Amino acid sequence: MATQHEELDPSVLRGLGVANQASMKSLSEHVYEAFEDEEELADSFQTGAVIRQRPQFTRIPKHDVFEDVAFMVAEHLINVKMTPNWVAYIFGNRYISQEIKQLGLDEKQPFVEDIYDTVDTSSWCKKLMNGIPSFAEKILKKELPDTDLPREWLQFPVSNDSRKGKRKSQEDRYISMPTLKLVFPDTSRSDVGLFGVFDGHNGAECSTYSAAHLATEFNDVLKQNAEGKRSLEESLQTSVVRLEHRLFVRCDKEQWRSGSTAVVMAVDNDEMSFAWLGDSAAFILKSSSLCQRQVDKIPVDHSTSNKSEAERVEADGGQLLYIGGELRVNGVLNVTRALGDIGGRPMVSGAPEIKTLKRSVDDYLVLLVCDGITDAFDNENLFQIVEAFVNDNPLEDYEELAQYICMNAIRNHSEDNVTCIAVYLKHPAELWKLLKITDSEDEEEENGGSLQNSVDDQSSRDSEEENKENKHE
């Protein structure tokens, strides 16, 4: 089902930056670009440029150290150094693999029920972050192996964006891995992509934990299922349940009172499996969307307005109270399922709902979004925005679609953090062919009202200052 890049015309491949393998930037080339602006690169290595980083956690259980720190480093590279996700992920994993001995650990520790040994990271976190330039130097000096972008990373072209928006803090997190092979070279399923949006509330602990640990749980489940006895849907469900269990333990031991909604997609050549808790959403754009003029929503929200969910909450001993004009579980949350939120159990359930769709030739694009997007746009608006982006931008800018959606949500008065992952199920050129308005269609649009009335056409000219102001720091 998935389009194979080698079958495409070289001029189209240039839209993905893969016209030939030699022209692709390696890990070391991206690292050089990320650090070259720190005054003089050589000086930053010698002096050790200071990176200001507030520790996310003052202590970490040993079985969580590897993923917590790898994700923290990756976030720094994505949000501060503006590196591509694949560079950030592999840099973070390699860095913690080298530095983990500073915590008195010889290797990554497995999760064992009823064992909760912790390490103090309050001072080590600062030392770790300030060691990033020195690690970058080792990559540039070829003291560590260089890496090219794995071809499998291109099997699901993707666009990601996450912004603080009008909130005082950013509590959204996301994971975007078109293949597991980059971070897990021994994966049994390099053909599977994993994507997820985690919308935190009352703090970012649970959304951060979920984004940091889901891929490891999912890969472990796939490895245990090497003989193929478990379906993609079962593998995703099992990994989310295991993630929720580990997070529950962490919340209980560390007295976290935050939570996170989630929407996750695992996709291969044949099918797409979705898991969700709360009101984060997934949409699919199909060829039929052109006639319907809207995208199709996949999950049904786990919210107090959902009759079956409301009945479950009351059956579990909860109450639905009107607070601020909306129903809330025990007067607190307006969602009925979430990761974390252990103080609200069992009324606020941690059980994911799952849905699997067979892939077809009609599938073009999947959007995973937080409620900061759906509060601003309905299914029809989202289709119009994607269509407007395609008609306002060249194919080479396909990676900017998520940013376009997020920026328009902020302009459309979204009051929340905004996060979007746009996963292309075909080569992006196919979406451009589907949605590009021809000259004759353009004339009809002018006679009947412009599509741009619903979309701020200034999105394609966002200033650098505006981008940095809203970007997650």
Q: CB neighbours (10 Å) of residue 181?
A: 19
Q: By CB neighbour count within 10 A (0-12 exposed, 13-18 middle, 19+ buried), where does 370 fall?
A: buried
Do residues 48 and 137 both lie within one domain? yes
Asked if the structure places residue 318 within a domain, the reply is no
The reported pTM is: 0.88
* Residues 444-473 pLDDT 10s: 555 544 434 444 444 444 444 455 555 544
Asked if the structure places residue 391 within a domain, the reply is yes
Asked if the structure places residue 199 within a domain, the reply is yes
Contact residues for 315 (Cβ-Cβ < 8 A; gap 6+):
none
**CA contacts within 13 A on the Cβ side of 402:** 25
Do residues 180 and 111 both lie within one domain? no
Do residues 137 and 167 both lie within one domain? no
Do residues 159 and 198 both lie within one domain? yes
* Residue at a domain's end among 148, 168, 193: 148
**What pLDDT, on the 0 to 100 scale, is given for residue 22?**
35
Asked if the structure places residue 265 within a domain, the reply is yes
- Residue 140: DSSP 8-state: H
Asked if the structure places residue 421 within a domain, the reply is yes
Looking at the chain, the whole-number percentage of residues with pLDDT higher than 90 is 72
CA 42 – CA 401 distance, rounded (Å): 36
Domain count, the chain: 2
CA 322 – CA 184 distance, rounded (Å): 47
Do residues 155 and 137 both lie within one domain? no
108: pLDDT strictly greater than 70: yes
* Residues 274-322 pLDDT 10s: 999 999 999 999 999 999 999 999 999 999 999 999 999 999 999 999 9
Can you give the residue range of the structural domain that contains 57?
Answer: 25-148
CATH number at residue 368: 3.60.40.10
* Residues 231-268 pLDDT 10s: 999 999 999 999 999 999 999 999 999 999 999 999 99
Do residues 198 and 284 both lie within one domain? yes
Asked if the structure places residue 254 within a domain, the reply is yes
**What pLDDT, on the 0 to 100 scale, is given for residue 99?**
84
Do residues 159 and 285 both lie within one domain? yes
Do residues 164 and 272 both lie within one domain? yes
Query: What's the rounded mean pLDDT across residues 386-404?
Result: 97
CATH number at residue 92: 1.10.1740.220
Query: What's the rounded mean pLDDT across residues 383-398?
Result: 97
Residue type at 52?
A: R
The answer, yes or no, to whether the previous bond of 157 is cis (omega within 30 of 0) is no
Model confidence at 9, pLDDT cuts 50, 70, 90, reads very low
Q: Which residue has the higher pLDDT, 352 or 147?
A: 352
Query: How are the residues of the chain apportioned to helix, strand and coil, as percentages rounded to the nearest 5?
Result: 45, 20, 35
Do residues 356 and 444 both lie within one domain? yes
* Residues 167-176 pLDDT 10s: 999 999 999 9
| Residue that is written with structure tokens 């973070």 in the block | 92
**What pLDDT, on the 0 to 100 scale, is given for residue 55?**
56
Asked if the structure places residue 330 within a domain, the reply is no
Query: What's the rounded mean pLDDT across residues 336-347?
Result: 97
Do residues 411 and 391 both lie within one domain? yes
201: pLDDT strictly greater than 70: yes
426 and 360 Cβ atoms separated by less than 8 Å = no
Do residues 47 and 161 both lie within one domain? no
Least confident of 13-27, 102-116, 358-372: 13-27
Asked if the structure places residue 313 within a domain, the reply is no
* Residue at a domain's end among 114, 148, 182: 148
- Residue 418: DSSP 8-state: E
Model confidence at 400, pLDDT cuts 50, 70, 90, reads very high
Model confidence at 126, pLDDT cuts 50, 70, 90, reads confident
* Residues 349-387 pLDDT 10s: 999 999 999 999 999 999 999 999 999 999 999 999 999
Do residues 464 and 378 both lie within one domain? yes
